[in-house]
Structure 1
Amino acid sequence: MEKKPSLLKGTIWNTLGSTMYGANSFIMLALVSRVGTVDQAGYFGIAFTTAQILYIVGLFGVNTYQMTDYQEKYCFSDYAKGRIFSCALMLVGGLLSIFLLDFTGEKSVYLCILTVLMLLNAVGELYQSLFFQKNRLDLSGSALFYRTFWSLFAFVVVLLTTGNILLSIIVQTAVNLVVTLYYALRVAPKFISKTAAPLRHGAVALMMECLPLFLSMFLMNILINASKYGIEFLMDDTAQGYYNMLFMPAQVINLCSQFVFKPLLNRYASLFAEKQDKEAIFLLIKQIALVLGFTLICCVAAFILGPEVLGLLYSKDLSAFRLALVLVVLGGGVFACCQLFYYVFVILRRQKWVLGIYLGASAAAFIFTAALVGTLGIVGAALSFILIHLVILAAYAFLLRLFLRGRHHA
């Protein structure tokens, strides 16, 4: 085994990989918006959003568990078998989505190809999580970076050359396949233990243990995008195109929170394992403060120059959406804080609690989205995004306090 790299090197690669992955959807939507019409941006945006939710089905909540399975309760073959099952489920989900969402024409074609692309990302994540689990954050980050970079590069070149969105996605998918195979066949084998699985039928046990995580992540992504689906059902494709353009900065906020949090997952696991709860909570509070501070700066920037900057990027006039943009950015910060709590609950192995939070929030999401999108349009969609995640954040904070108090008095 190679000598373990420094934490700094791992952090840098994790940052580069996360940045590239986060920029991927931003760049794709920006180019589609520039090359196509607002309606086409709407078609592509809702298809891409649905494919990303199907990606969660492909992960089945196993990736987060695998990354933090430092004691290797399950062997790699268990994770691989589980991924085969979840990817098959993902393909079935893609077909069902076309019918349930009544996608036709360009939307259905985009969804089919993008689902295959996301399936490859789910396979790639299996190996990236393996590297992370083995404390090779550098390899995990670099694999994510190169897989995303080369496939995105192919998309950009083909789209700018031909102006054909569908052809660009097909070529992007083919390149993604090649790079994913490289990491699966050339890099990963030396990290895979040859010992037998510690549990009989380990893959089944693994999937059952991760089922609450999967359902939580699935509901989480439905809730993240509830405002988009509200627009899909209550407004038109033009509104969908504009809202998808405005929504991108929220993903940037969450991306930055991952830079702050992911490199310290092992630190959290150690602190909670040693019952150093005060130190863990202090670390969490510091990271939340950093995220919120960054969010406020972004809100000010979005108010002053946001529509103009995004307008130049997308080659569309967004001047009428200044308030909606600020609200979306604020919602992105609240969502990022929810993500931090999510990782903490996974480390504490409180998957069922997370599921309970998102089940409860689903009812609130339906009410907020239907009422606000129906009355305020795009601004209402942004408001519903904020309110949904404030409910989730409050539930996380309450249950974490309850858990720690109970452990302290036990």
Structure 2
Amino acid sequence: MLKRRKADGREAGRGGVRGAGEPWGTTAGAAGAAGAGVRPERHEHRARQLAEHWWNRLIEAVYDRSFSEQTELYASSQGTLDYVLNTIGQGAWGVLFPLLTVVATQLAGAEDAGMFTMAFVTATMLMYIGNYGVRTFQVSDLEENESFSAYVIQRVVTCALMMGVGYLYCRARGYSGPMYAICLAVFTYRMVDALADVYEGRLQQVDKLYLAGISMGIRSVLAVVVFTVLLFVTRSLQVASVAMAVCAVASFFVVTLPLTLFETPKSRAPELVEVKELFVDCFPAFAGVFLYALIDNVPKFVMEGSLSYDNQTYFNAIYFCSNSILMMAGLVYKPQIVRLSTIWADRGRRARFDLVIVGMLALVAVIVAVMLVFTGLIGVPLNGLLYATDFERFRTQSYLMVVAGGLAAGADFLFQILTVLRYQSAATLIYLVGFGVALVLSFALVRTLGFDGAVWAYLVSHVVLFCLFVARYVVIRVKSR
């Protein structure tokens, strides 16, 4: 895993500073290197070694007044390690919301947990503003036509916009007291997620996806631990939510930011035109993913105005099975985006590209079948245990949500493919149609069928979305022959 890179002579000229390429978990250090001279004993616990090694590396960077010029330690193209650690990181991120909802339900009750889940749903939707649909565009920018610094500037602007929209949303909804405090804290947490995404995308761009997985995993695990402990001690969702946000900010500055600067090449100076190009080129992708977020959440927002908050808790409980399919599929295809870009660039290999598409959709179908069996045998009774209510009444709805999850995963995969093909603008109209369908169905069905109406609206919206994406991809491939 180790990689050596010349560090511009810094090692030779300063006593006690770690040399290039030293093994993971070891440090060199003399007493004068601002605390960087602590060497773990040979038999100390591995976790302590890693923590001390990382702390020493941070101290060195501060001492040198440079992060991006420090020596890289970890190699690219790690293959299996990329999949394993990225899967762990993505998995931790994916189960964050379900775990927090379960904790909130057990410690604060279904009604208050419903308030928290509504805040988290809104924050996740706002995060699409922060991300602006740039990640796939960034990691498939193999020639680095846009500088990484430009990506960062663009992301800071969108994150600020995300928080501004979140504040206006709270004012428009008339939130106050606990709900207002919870929303702002959760919005901040998701904003950090969006900001970290551009740095983790940089790690993926230089083929160090496993490091991005580590960054995401640390942030997510810390959030669950801090939220759970604070809620258990204080029984206050406001306090727990604020602590979670503070923890996310700390992990960004201690782990994500320095890790990216350490392990990726220093970016050239940004140009204003690059930032403008990112906003223009990625707008179709942003419009698509934001509209998808609306499609995914319209039933929940309509429910908030018609049903009690405990229905939010129950809907999200069965929604998590659906969302897990999307997450599992993403773990397979997202690490392959760079490779898919390379295959598509070679016109002679486009038949193979089609086989990848068919194979991925078949895999999604298998995941859905497995999840249906799991839901029937384990999922329904497990939800009843976790949420302390009878989920047998939601068995049919749970099956419908699993099918909807498979359709959502297939549609999202095809959207990523359109972005790789640079046809992301074609997705905007598809998502717009899907949003219109979701909006009409949600208002009509939730107000007539209640909870069941929200489930049916969710399912039919994703049927429409998937069919439109399949049709659009077929048209593109016919024209590109």
Taking only the aligned residue pairs, the percentage that are identical comes to 23
Confirm or deny: 8 A CA contact 1:341 1:396 kept in the other structure. yes
Output the TM-score relative to the length of structure 2. 0.81
One-letter code of the match for 1:216? G
Structure 1 residues 213-246: Cα deviation after superposition (integer angstroms, max 9, x where no partner) = 1111111101011221121123222322221222
Partner residue in 1 for 2:219: 147
| 209-218 or 148-157: bigger deviation | 148-157
Q: Distance in 2 between matches of 1:72 and 1:97?
A: 36
How does 1:123-134 map onto structure 2 within 5 Å? 123-134=195-206
Which amino acid letter does the alignment assign opposite residue 50 of structure 1?
T
Mark the runs of 5 or more structure 2 residues left unpaired by the alignment.
Answer: 1-71
Matched position secondary structure for 2:249: helix
| Structure 1 stretch displaced more, 326-335 or 93-102 | 93-102
Q: Given residue 214 of structure 1, which amino acid in structure 2 is its aligned partner? A: F
Tell me how far apart the structure 2 counterparts of residues 208 and 101 of structure 1 sit (CA, whole Å). Answer: 31
The answer for the alignment partner of 2:301 in structure 1 is 229
Query: 1:372 aligned to 445, 455, 473, which one?
Result: 445
Q: Relative to structure 2, which stretch is displaced further, 64-73 or 7-16?
A: 64-73
Measure, in 2, the Cα distance between the counterparts of 1:28 and 1:309: 16
> Aligned partners of 2:174 and 2:272: how far apart in 1?
42
1:29–1:41 Cα contact (<8 Å) kept:
yes
Task: For 1:46-65, list aligned pairs within 5 A.
Answer: 46-65=118-137
Match of 2:147 among 64, 67, 75: 75
Alignment match, 1:407: 480
Counterparts of 1:4-403 in structure 2, within 5 Å, are 4-190=76-262, 191-197=264-270, 200-275=272-347, 276-403=349-476
How many residues get paired?
407
> Are 1:40 and 1:241, in contact at CA under 8 Å, matched by a contact in 2?
no
1:16, CA displacement in angstroms? Answer: 0.5
**Deviation by residue 1:269-315 (Cα, 9 ceiling, x = unmatched):** 11211122221121121111111111122123323443311111122
Distance 1:358 1:226 in 2: 13
Corresponding position of 2:5: none
Does the Cα contact within 8 Å between 1:361 and 1:391 map onto a contact in 2?
A: yes
**Which range moves more in the overlay, 174-183 or 294-303?**
294-303
The CA distance in 2 between the partners of 1:244 and 1:200, in whole Å, is 42
More helix by share: 1
| Alpha-carbon distance between aligned partners in 2 of 1:37 and 1:188, rounded to the nearest angstrom | 40
Distance 1:105 1:171 in 2: 17
User: Contact 1:14–1:141 (CA<8 Å) still a contact in 2?
Assistant: yes
CA separation in 1, counterparts of 2:179 and 2:237?
Answer: 12
User: Does the CA contact (< 8 Å) of 2:76 and 2:206 recur in 1?
Assistant: no
Distance in 2 between residues matched to 1:402 and 1:370, nearest whole Å? 33
Shift of 1:184: 4.6
**Cα 1:347–1:331, aligned 2, differ >3 Å: closer, same or farther?**
same
Letter in 1 for 2:422: R
What is the CA–CA distance in structure 2 between the aligned matches of 1:155 and 1:262, rounded to whole Å? 29
Structural RMSD (CA): 1.6
Structure 2: distance between partners of 1:18 and 1:127: 15
CA offsets per residue over residues 245-274 of structure 1, 9 Å max, x none? 221111111111111111221221112111
TM-score, with structure 1 as normaliser: 0.95
Structure 1 residue 192: Cα displacement: 4.1
The CA distance in 2 between the partners of 1:272 and 1:302, in whole Å, is 37
**Structure with bigger gyration radius:** 2
Report deviation, 1:151: 2.3
**Secondary structure at 1:316's aligned position in 2?**
coil
Per-residue deviation, 1:162: 2.9
Question: What are the superposed Cα offsets for residues 149-178 of structure 1, whole Å, 9 maximum, x if unpaired?
Answer: 122221122223332222111112112111
Which secondary structure state, in structure 2, belongs to the residue aligned with residue 236 of structure 1? Answer: coil
1:43/1:106 contact within 8 Å kept:
no
Structure 1 Cα separation of the partners of residues 220 and 459 of structure 2? 29
The letter for the 1-side match of 2:367 is: F
Counterpart amino acid of residue 320 in structure 1: R
